[in-house]
A and B are shown apart, each in its own frame.
Chain A
Amino acid sequence: MAEDQDKILEEVTGGEYKYGFYTDIEMEEFPTGLNENIVRLISAKKKEPEFMLEFRLKAFRHWLTMKKPDWAQLNIPEIDFQDIIYYAVPKKKPELESMDEVDPDLKATFDKLGIPLDEQKVLAGVAVDAVIDSVSVKTTFKETLAEKGIIFCSISEAVQEYPDLIKKYLGSVVPHQDNYFGALNAAVFSDGSFVYIPKGVRCPMELSTYFRINAINTGQFERTLIVADEDSYVSYLEGCTAPQRDENQLHAAIVEIVTLDRAEVKYSTVQNWYPGDKNGVGGIYNFVTKRALCKGDYSKVMWTQVETGSAITWKYPSCVLQGDHSVGEFYSVAVTNNHQQADTGTKMIHLGKNTRSLIVSKGVSAGKSQNSYRGLVKVSKKAENARNFSQCDSLLMGDKCGAHTFPYLEIANNSAKVEHEATTSKIGEDQIFYCNQRGMSTEDAVGLIVNGYVKEVINQLPMEFAVEAQKLLQISLEGSVG
């Protein structure tokens, strides 16, 4: 009986990766390896102003003095940073005026991914910035947004066009000294998205970036900066996929968000990097620093993430609640299968008065995977009346996987009210049988049960992405990809 159960679970959870294709696009690549010259070369290639080169070099020199972190519940193989290509650009990239100028192979890649680059066919109200390997290839709806004063462009472009905003905000939330992968990113980041929402503007559509690693042996180091000025609002989406390869690839991104008084940013991620095969060979190392600074009073940031991919995920989207009455929310679903490892969670740093934070984390572990929630709630001395509620649930499938919860609380103010709830449950054979008896296949049953379990989080995603995320969850846990 136990064997049967294992068999069922194996079938159900042994799903294959659907986005593992590779597109043969002519690339311009830098030599493998990292040294000060490479950093200079990247900056020169992008014709960056002096301040950016300084920014990169400072970070690089600092990175050389740092050690790779080892505190996470992860087994990270030695990474040879000299064996990575730090800059890869589709050759035909140049300045694109219309969709017709995009390399047809590249366009086919995005079509396969179901990403709407074609403005006519675009999902109603989603503006897209597509980043392939290291460079932003196309941003849609730019003109429509510009009418409202909204800036949505690649970060390279922003460095050229809006140096004052970049100087003021880049690195203001995640300084290069912050952490090892953050410093590396600051030194070598090649592109990413920049968003600026002016005072009092509600962004009329979802902004979205799709990241795709395509080239071999390439690290992807993108950098996203979102600035929401007073009384503004924006909802931002990020999606990621990569081809299927036997070697591991490094993805070390930074996302910085700044909200001024009464501004609100919703940041949603559907992360589906290649997770490696059933035996744990290959896959993306996803070491990402995401942090929001709720600088203004009554400002609000909401992180929602659905993490199904990557061989290793190391990621803690955080909120620094500096403004009085500011609010941080974190909703997360992390699914690990086969040999995947995830150490993810959030940090809520309460600095201002009457700040509130909410954490809802749902882990799903299957196969031989390890899934950890790590969360810090910190209430500083001056943060009067801070409130936090955390809920961390783990769902286990089979008996070879692990779920871990590491909540950290640092409370320096007596008026704080902090609550933490955690549960661990298993998908019951009896639940599956109950669904079977009502005419559902085991795969459909698992999909239904898991989607029920994560509903609270999925509900936070914008409609069309919620549907996508639900399908993705089912696919990552299924044997037969439908």
Chain B
Amino acid sequence: MLVIKDLHAKIDDKEILRGINLEVKPGEVHAIMGPNGSGKSTLSSVLAGNEKFEVVEGEVSFNDKDLLDLAPEDRAREGLFLSFQYPVEIPGVSMVNFMRTAVNEHRKYAEKDPYTASEFLKLMREKKKLVEIDSNLTNRSVNEGFSGGEKKKNEIFQMAMLEPKLAILDETDSGLDIDALRVVANGVNKLKSPETSTIVITHYQRLLDHIVPDFVHVLYKGRIVKSAGKELAHELEEKGYDWIKKEFED
């Protein structure tokens, strides 16, 4: 699904990613953890194609395509979805209009006919139910005036609508109360299939109680310094990151 080889990226001449290697296979859930400033969010931005970051070195293949060669919108249409840490507000643009444009762009790319209004609304109703999102959220403008929790639920709803092959959840748990966390995690779990993969970026173990990872990686100073099974997350929760920092200080 996704193969990252020796990925280096910088912003304003500051190198943030310094040689990332990672392979994600279909059906797998990977958690990426690490202290603040280790490059977690940069990794998700670079994979999604945010042009604020410059890729200096390395390769990324996504379903056998050169990901770094694709425009951000084509990466999305190929099935890469990023749940943003800070979802952006777009005043005056209704969720319905926004999602319909997005979904139909995906369909166009896959050489399918666009949904008619009634087909689309039906799909929207189904997905809303699936991710337990409040009906009135979709009647409002994109993220405008949404609470932190509502924004995150809205990200998961969009994910349900777009049915990505690879979903990257960038600190989706931050700012969520326990109930919202459960709703978000349930949504993600329901959308999981043997063909789709998930990368969960988080500081905390608590999200991983709900979305159980197959692998846990620790990112530190732009490199993956430790990889193991889900037990690593518990160890980190218990001991913090200091022992890792000590071990890998340069």
On whether the beta carbons of A439 and B73 are closer than 8 Å, the reply is: yes
Whole-angstrom distance between the Cβ of A16 and the nearest chain B Cβ: 23
Q: Which 3 A-B pairs have the closest CB atoms?
A: A452-B92, A452-B93, A436-B72
CA distance A4 to B72 in the complex (A): 14
On whether the beta carbons of A440 and B105 are closer than 8 Å, the reply is: yes
Which residue of chain B is the closest to A427 with respect to CB atoms? Answer: B90
On whether the beta carbons of B73 and A431 are closer than 8 Å, the reply is: no
**Which residue of the partner chain, among B11, B91, B98, contacts A438 with CB atoms under 8 Å?**
B98
On whether the beta carbons of A440 and B102 are closer than 8 Å, the reply is: yes
**Which residue of the partner chain, among B50, B54, B92, contacts A453 with CB atoms under 8 Å?**
B92
Known: A437-B76, A441-B71; 15 extra A-B contacts, CB below 8 A, are A1-B12, A1-B51, A431-B88, A433-B50, A433-B88, A435-B90, A436-B71, A436-B76, A437-B48, A437-B73, A438-B158, A439-B77, A439-B109, A441-B73, A456-B92
> Is B87 among interface residues, defined by CB-CB distance under 8 A?
yes
- Determine the interface band of chain A, counting residues with CB < 8 A from chain B: 20 to 34
On whether the beta carbons of A440 and B101 are closer than 8 Å, the reply is: yes
CA distance A205 to B162 in the complex (A): 42
Question: B residues within 8 A CB of A456?
Answer: 92
> Is B146 among interface residues, defined by CB-CB distance under 8 A?
no
CA distance A449 to B90 in the complex (A): 7
Q: How many residues on the B side are at the interface (Cβ–Cβ under 8 A)?
A: 35
Question: B residues within 8 A CB of A436?
Answer: 49, 71-73, 76
Which residue of chain B is the closest to A433 with respect to CB atoms? Answer: B50
> Is A46 among interface residues, defined by CB-CB distance under 8 A?
no
> Is A11 among interface residues, defined by CB-CB distance under 8 A?
no
On whether the beta carbons of A448 and B88 are closer than 8 Å, the reply is: no
Question: A residues within 8 A CB of B91?
Answer: 452-453
CA distance A389 to B73 in the complex (A): 41
> Is A382 among interface residues, defined by CB-CB distance under 8 A?
no
On whether the beta carbons of B101 and A448 are closer than 8 Å, the reply is: yes
CA distance A452 to B95 in the complex (A): 11
Question: B residues within 8 A CB of A454?
Answer: 92
Which residue of chain B is the closest to A430 with respect to CB atoms? Answer: B88
Whole-angstrom distance between the Cβ of A155 and the nearest chain B Cβ: 38
Question: B residues within 8 A CB of A448?
Answer: 90, 93, 97-98, 101
> Is A444 among interface residues, defined by CB-CB distance under 8 A?
yes
> Is A31 among interface residues, defined by CB-CB distance under 8 A?
no
On whether the beta carbons of B48 and A452 are closer than 8 Å, the reply is: no
Which residue of chain A is the closest to B161 with respect to CB atoms? Answer: A438
> Is B223 among interface residues, defined by CB-CB distance under 8 A?
no
> Is B52 among interface residues, defined by CB-CB distance under 8 A?
yes
Whole-angstrom distance between the Cβ of B72 and the nearest chain A Cβ: 4
On whether the beta carbons of A437 and B101 are closer than 8 Å, the reply is: no
As a 0/1 sequence over residues 45 to 85 of chain B, the CB contacts with chain A under 8 angstroms (1 = contact) are 00011111010000000000000000111011100011010
CA distance A430 to B82 in the complex (A): 13
On whether the beta carbons of A1 and B92 are closer than 8 Å, the reply is: no
Which residue of chain A is the closest to B81 with respect to CB atoms? Answer: A437
CA distance A315 to B75 in the complex (A): 45
CA distance A132 to B48 in the complex (A): 51
On whether the beta carbons of A444 and B76 are closer than 8 Å, the reply is: no
Question: A residues within 8 A CB of B97?
Answer: 448
Question: A residues within 8 A CB of B41?
Answer: none
> Is B174 among interface residues, defined by CB-CB distance under 8 A?
no
On whether the beta carbons of A455 and B98 are closer than 8 Å, the reply is: no
> Is B38 among interface residues, defined by CB-CB distance under 8 A?
no
> Is A428 among interface residues, defined by CB-CB distance under 8 A?
yes
CA distance A50 to B141 in the complex (A): 59
CA distance A441 to B73 in the complex (A): 6
CA distance A452 to B109 in the complex (A): 24
> Is B153 among interface residues, defined by CB-CB distance under 8 A?
no
**Which residue of the partner chain, among A4, A439, A452, contacts B105 with CB atoms under 8 Å?**
A439
CA distance A440 to B73 in the complex (A): 6
Which residue of chain A is the closest to B94 with respect to CB atoms? Answer: A452
CA distance A442 to B76 in the complex (A): 13
> Is A162 among interface residues, defined by CB-CB distance under 8 A?
no
Question: B residues within 8 A CB of A440?
Answer: 73, 101-102, 105
As a 0/1 sequence over residues 97 to 109 of chain B, the CB contacts with chain A under 8 angstroms (1 = contact) are 1100110011001
Decide: A451 near B93, CB < 8 A? Known: A438-B98, A439-B76, A440-B73.
Answer: yes
CA distance A441 to B51 in the complex (A): 14
Whole-angstrom distance between the Cβ of A428 and the nearest chain B Cβ: 7
Which residue of chain A is the closest to B105 with respect to CB atoms? Answer: A439
> Is A434 among interface residues, defined by CB-CB distance under 8 A?
yes
Question: A residues within 8 A CB of B51?
Answer: 1, 4, 433
Question: B residues within 8 A CB of A451?
Answer: 92-93
Most buried by A among B76, B77, B93: B93
CA distance A436 to B92 in the complex (A): 18
Which residue of chain A is the closest to B50 with respect to CB atoms? Answer: A433
On whether the beta carbons of B49 and A438 are closer than 8 Å, the reply is: no
Decide: A434 near B76, CB < 8 A? Known: A455-B92, A456-B92.
Answer: no
CA distance A431 to B11 in the complex (A): 19
Question: A residues within 8 A CB of B87?
Answer: 434
8 Å CB interface, A99-116 against B: none
Which residue of chain B is the closest to A444 with respect to CB atoms? Answer: B101
CA distance A169 to B11 in the complex (A): 66
On whether the beta carbons of B88 and A428 are closer than 8 Å, the reply is: yes
Residue contacts A-B, CB under 8 angstroms, 20 given = A431-B88, A433-B51, A435-B102, A437-B49, A437-B72, A437-B75, A438-B158, A439-B73, A439-B105, A439-B162, A440-B73, A440-B102, A441-B71, A441-B73, A448-B93, A448-B97, A449-B93, A452-B91, A452-B92, A452-B93
CA distance A440 to B109 in the complex (A): 11
Whole-angstrom distance between the Cβ of B97 and the nearest chain A Cβ: 7
Question: A residues within 8 A CB of B141?
Answer: 452
